[in-house]
Amino acid sequence: MPFVEEINLKTHSPDVYFTSVNAAGPSGRNRITKTTTASGARNNKRVNYSLSDLEAKIYAQKGSTDAEPQNSSFITTTSTALERYTPQELLKSRRRFMELDSENPQDIKDVAYLMSSVTGISKDRIDASSGSGQGTGSTSNVNRPGRNKFELPKNMELMYRSTKPPAVKKKNTNRIVALKKTLASKRPLTSYLDALDQVNRSIVFHNVYNKKFFKVLPVITVCSICGGYNSISGCVNCGNKVCSLRCFNLHNDTRCTN
């Protein structure tokens, strides 16, 4: 059974950890050991641990073990790339990769300056090897996203309200067209009333008179020529109303049917 030493709270330091691997033997609870040497060394071996040093050592070992295969694979891939491709093709590929990797399309024109600062190669050489014309073409394509459009099939039915197209407006019927023509014309209303026969006129006036809350026309008799309502008299032949001799003569000349 291993020996476990109880920590004395009076002399314990929270930054120091104790070990009892090399303990001399069991001791009583809260046993106070006596120092036998002048230096005051303890019977139990005391080892100081530092967590930061231990973590640094662990990470340094892992980093060294991981870096060796990565460096070897990078060297092999670089050597194979140099054997398979020319430097001009590598520059062109790297420039195209940086253009596609740029978040802002406006920064594509500065890719040559960035590659020149990173690789140490002059900007003119990068433009000559990678092709500046193709770079501008890619820039123009990136700056014009409107070309990347797609059309939905016409037979697709959208079921959601948010994407459902608006309802088609109903076409104007013949009744609405006739009403608009009547309202747009400059003829007075009395002329239309005079053109009605006795049956339709009774229907119209009956409906207008029986309006409960809103009376469109008052039930009055007006002249069929000028629309006046004073001194109304009727034609013996057709029954149309006139208000004066002038209206009567005009009625006989133009509107009287008999």
Considering the entire predicted model, what is its pTM?
0.22
In the chain, where are the structural domains located?
86-129+174-211, 222-257
Calculate what percentage of the chain has a pLDDT beyond 90.
0
Residue 235 predicted with pLDDT over 80: yes
Instruction: Please tell me whether residue 242 adopts helix, strand or coil conformation.
Output: strand
Query: Under a CB-based contact definition with an 8 Å cutoff, are residues 256 and 237 in contact?
Result: yes
- Model pLDDT for residues 93-103, shown as the tens digit of each residue: 777 777 777 76
Q: Residues 172-189: pLDDT tens digits?
A: 667 777 777 777 776 777
Average pLDDT in the 105-119 region? 73
The secondary structure element, H or E, covering residue 234 is strand 233-234
Measured distance CA(241)–CA(235) in Å, rounded = 6
- Summarize pLDDT for 192-213 with one digit per residue, the tens: 777 778 877 777 777 665 555 4
Q: Which residue type is seen at 205?
A: F
The tokens for 133 are 């014309």
Cα–Cα distance, 85 to 88 (Å, whole number): 8
